[in-house]
A and B are shown apart, each in its own frame.
Chain A
Amino acid sequence: MRILRIVSAFLRAAILKETAYRAELAGNLLRSVINIGVAVGGLAVVFSHTSELSGWRLEQAMVLLGVYYLVQGIVQTALSPSLNEVVSEVRKGTFDYVLLKPVPSLLLSSTRRFVVWHVADVMLGGAIIAIGLIRLEAQITVGIAAVFVGVMVGGVAIVFSIWLALTTLVFWFVRVENITMIFQLFFDTGRYPVEIYPFWLRQLLTFVFPVAFITTVPAQTITGREPLVAIWLAPLIGILALLAAARFWRIGLSRYTSASS
């Protein structure tokens, strides 16, 4: 209950902040629409030369692209703004104010900032998924939908964990923006199914930077394609990743509180 109140107070402040700059809000929304439009157009161009890409049809690839933007939207709305704030606050020294609050620091550090207009990515992503599924004439049962949501939640948990772990490095190195950039590069490979990549890269994207679990596996689940790995692995890896990242955060924090000045 208390947590809900805290998060909604932050959300309220974020909405106020965003709407204070209307021109920026409009510009960002436009950028979002153009971004996704170009990506869908790109897919259409590729599939005008071929009807299949490593076994994926255009509609299935669209669903995958939709999943990519959906996850990206969630991350950029709710997760990365807060974590980026941690990085800049540690440098400025205002992170102290987070530690002075009677709320677990990880909770506060990951729910403080929202960039609301990224919700547009979430909605556009959802729309592309819907269009793809309709054109596939896919039969979506409640069961399949539930599994899809579970797999998606697992995927978001994986993204969040990796991002959190990279952010935690700030307690040792202070400047870590470039490290989170590397993650973004890997994440970008998730616009396409992992099957299109060469063997070694596919392995890397499945087991090291598990981008496969974030977009390919959910898209396979809902379009009825043969899954890459056992589906139940996605939420499981999500939970394990969260636990590991939280543990790493605590280690980083204890370094901060014993070493900072």
Chain B
Amino acid sequence: MPPDISVRQLVKHYVVPERAGGLRASFRSVLRRKHRLVRAVDGISFEVERGEVVGFLGPNGAGKTTALKVLSGLLHPTDGQVDVLGYTPWDRRAEYLSRITLIMGQRQQLFWDLPAADSFLVNKAVFGIDDAVYKRTVDLLTELLDLGDLLTKPVRQLSLGERMKVELAAGLLHTPRVLFLDEPTIGLDVTMQQRIREFVTAYNAETGATVLLTSHYMADVKALARRVIVIDQGKLLYDGALAGLVQRYAPHKTITVHLERSVDLPDLNGQAEVLSVEGLQVTVRAGKDDAPEVTGRLLTQLPIADLSVEDPPLEEVIDQVFRGDGP
């Protein structure tokens, strides 16, 4: 079976107007605009198989949203080939658009003054969904998202999190096979983020849909995606298992020991660096290869109550990737 999404050497450059701050520069730019070329996406390639959930990571302005917009047919790429479900997205064929969805956490499509149910009926007509299928889908989404009576309240009366839930439902009424989710949890509180994550997992399991999502929140990525694609400044930095990302970009481990009593620390031979000493808790960082030896030495030379060896937090790893400190 061919992959659902196939991207080869995708390039998207923009020309954007540029001007310095200040009144004088503003006046000047009315008369003569200066332009600057932005390489939003600069030659990335990847494939996504049917039913996969892939996290798309990168700092602000890395090109994530641009890539999603090309994949969903909103933008023409400058160069490269994209194939999603056998279609070229930017042809924007009706059959293609009926099989995908793009849900943007920061942009709403529902009628503000009306209950979501009324917007749903519009989407039902636009996508030509027949009554039985529509009812089944709404029931499924109501259950998975715990929509309850949210659909009958005017959208303007919903909380941010509730609104995101109905937005998600609105974008999924036509049971798309490929989901592009752009920051679906942005601005939501931790509990609601959790709910959205559980929903995406359940929806993926229930329908076998392919999901490509971007997020700022590492918790999203950790909970959802076994595979991540990291891009920065339009270039692909990493594509593979989440665990592998940590392996590759975090060449050290963090060893935390709880001492039984206060003692001097042994000489660590320069194999480890003491990060902190707080009362009886000592944290050291050691290279991945040195970690077993350092751990052994700590165990034999110190009165230890407890010891743990951990990978550094994902946030730290990602941060390192973006700063280009990795190998």
Contacts and interface: CB of A to CB of B under 8 A. Distances in A.
Given A102-B98, A259-B14, 6 more contacts: A92-B107, A99-B92, A101-B97, A260-B74, A260-B75, A261-B65
A96 B107 contact: yes
Given A16-B114, A17-B114, A258-B75, A101 B102 contact: no
Q: What class of interface size applies to chain B in its complex with A?
A: 35 or more
B125 A5 contact: yes
B114 A20 contact: yes
A230 interface: no
Interface in B87-121: 90, 92, 94-98, 101-102, 104, 107-109, 111, 113-114, 118-119, 121
Contact of A97 (B65, B96, B107, B113): B107
Interface in A1-44: 2, 5-6, 8-10, 12-13, 16-17, 20-21
A261 B66 CA distance: 7
A260 B90 CA distance: 14
Interface in B8-45: 14-16, 40
B11 to A, nearest CB: 13
Contacts of B258: none
Interface of A: 2, 5-6, 8-10, 12-13, 16-17, 20-21, 92-94, 96-97, 99-103, 108, 254, 257-261
Contacts of B46: none
A108 B127 CA distance: 12
B136 interface: no
Given A96-B74, A102-B95, A9 B121 contact: yes
Nearest to A112: B122
A96 B126 contact: no
A13 B121 contact: yes
Contacts of A101: 97, 126-127
Nearest to A105: B92
**Interface SS majority for chain B:** mixed
B125 to A, nearest CB: 4
Interface string B38-79: 001000000000000000000000000110010011111000
A9 B121 CA distance: 7
A20 B114 CA distance: 8
B75 A94 contact: no
Report the 7 A-B pairs with minimum CB-CB distance, sorted nearest first: A9-B125, A102-B94, A102-B97, A97-B109, A258-B76, A9-B122, A102-B98
B128 interface: yes
Given A92-B107, A96-B69, A102-B98, A257 B90 contact: yes
A13 B117 CA distance: 10
Given A96-B107, A100-B72, A17 B94 contact: no
Given A99-B73, A100-B72, A261-B14, A17 B126 contact: no
A17 B118 CA distance: 10
A100 B102 contact: yes
B216 interface: no
Contacts of B109: 94, 97
Contact of B107 (A12, A93, A261): A93
24 contacts: A2-B125, A2-B128, A6-B126, A9-B124, A9-B125, A12-B121, A13-B118, A13-B119, A16-B114, A21-B113, A92-B107, A93-B104, A96-B74, A99-B74, A99-B92, A100-B102, A102-B127, A103-B126, A257-B74, A257-B75, A257-B90, A258-B75, A261-B14, A261-B66
